[in-house]
Amino acid sequence: MNEQRETPARFGQSPAAARPPGYPTELERILSLRDGRPVFVRPVIPADELAFEREWREADPETLYQRFFTPQPKLDARRLHSFTHVDYQWRLALVAFAEGGRAVGIARYEGVPDQESAEIAFVVNPTWRRAGLASGLLGLLVEAARARGLRHLVALFLQDNPAMATLLARAGFGPPQVNAGVAAAEITL
Ligand SMILES: CC(C)(COP(=O)(O)OP(=O)(O)OC[C@H]1O[C@@H](n2cnc3c(N)ncnc32)[C@H](O)[C@@H]1OP(=O)(O)O)[C@@H](O)C(=O)NCCC(=O)NCCS
C-alpha cells in the first residue's frame, strides 16, 4: 500500500471544519488501497457526526451485528457524541474518506486515562472490503497507540468472524481466547 500526504479537498474535506485542541495532524494521510482506490485517513473530529449518522443509517444489519454483537444496535445522541469526541491520547479514532467524502472505514481504540490497555474496533463499508483498508488502518492505529504510551491492545470480535481473525493474526496479535462466542485477541506493543 502506498502512503502520501496531499491536500484532501477531493475527499470532501472542508478546511473550515474545526480541529479540537490536541488534534494530531501528523496522523493524516492518503492511503492507496490494493485495488488502486485512494482514501484520505484522518483522526475523527466532532463535525463527523453527520457522516457517522449517514453511514449508520445505510449500514446493513450484518455489519452492525459483527461490530456491536447485538441485533439492531441504536445510535443515540450519547453514543454518537462518544464516537466523534475523543481526546487523541487514551481514545482515538481514524476515519477513512473516499473521494467525494463518504466515510468508508473507521478504526478506533478506546482506553482510559493512565491505563496502558485499550480496546480496538473496526468497521469497513462492504464495498470497500478486501482491499487492505482495515489492515492499513490497523497499522496506523497501532503506531499511534505505541507513540502515546499504550502497551496493550485487545480486540473483541464474534468467534465466527474470519476477516477479523486473519486481520489480527497478520498484524501480530496473539491467538484469540474464546468465551461465550466472543473472541479476544491481544498484542503487546
Ligand atoms: C473485519 C473488517 C473490518 C475487515 O475489513 P477489510 O478492509 O476487508 O480488511 P482487509 O482488506 O484489510 O483484509 C485483511 C484480511 O482479512 C481476511 N479477510 C477479510 N475479509 C474476509 C472474509 N470475508 N473471509 C475470510 N477472510 C477475510 C483476508 O485474509 C484479508 O486479507 P486478503 O484480502 O489479503 O486475503 C470488515 O470485514 C468489517 O467491517 N466487518 C464488519 C465489522 C466487524 O466485523 N468488526 C469487527 C469487530 S470490532
Rg (CA), the chain: 16
Residue of 1, 31, 122 to mutate, ligand 1, most atoms within 8 A of C-beta: 122
Which tens digits make up the pLDDT trace of 120-169?
A: 999 999 999 999 999 999 999 999 999 999 999 999 999 999 999 999 99
Query: Does the pLDDT of residue 3 top 60, yes or no?
Result: no
Residue of 158, 166, 168, 182 to mutate, ligand 1, most atoms within 8 A of C-beta: 166
Whole-number Å distance, alpha carbon 181 to ligand 1 midpoint, is: 18
Domain of 100 in residue numbering reads as: 2-188
> How many domains does the chain fold into?
1
- CATH number of the domain within which 139 lies: 3.40.630.30
- Name the average pLDDT for the chain: 94
Q: In this predicted structure, what is the pLDDT of residue 7?
A: 57
CB-ligand 1 contact for 168 (6 Å cutoff): no
Query: Which residue carries 470532501 as its cell?
Result: 12
Query: Does the pLDDT of residue 91 top 70, yes or no?
Result: yes
- Dist CA 101 CA 133 (whole Å): 16
Residue of 34, 130, 153, 154 to mutate, ligand 1, most atoms within 8 A of C-beta: 130
Q: In this predicted structure, what is the pLDDT of residue 6?
A: 53
Query: Which residue carries 441504536 as its cell?
Result: 74
Beta strand segments in the chain, E: 2-4, 29-32, 38-43, 91-97, 103-111, 117-124, 152-158, 177-179, 182-188
CB-ligand 1 contact for 44 (6 Å cutoff): no
Q: What's the predicted TM-score (pTM) here?
A: 0.95
Q: In this predicted structure, what is the pLDDT of residue 1?
A: 54
Which tens digits make up the pLDDT trace of 27-62?
A: 999 999 999 999 999 999 999 999 999 999 999 999
Mean pLDDT to the nearest integer, 75-87: 97
Confidence band, pLDDT 50/70/90 cuts, at residue 16? confident
Beta strand segments in 36-137, E: 38-43, 91-97, 103-111, 117-124
Query: Could you tell me if 97 and 11 are in contact, meaning their C-beta atoms sit under 8 angstroms apart?
Result: yes
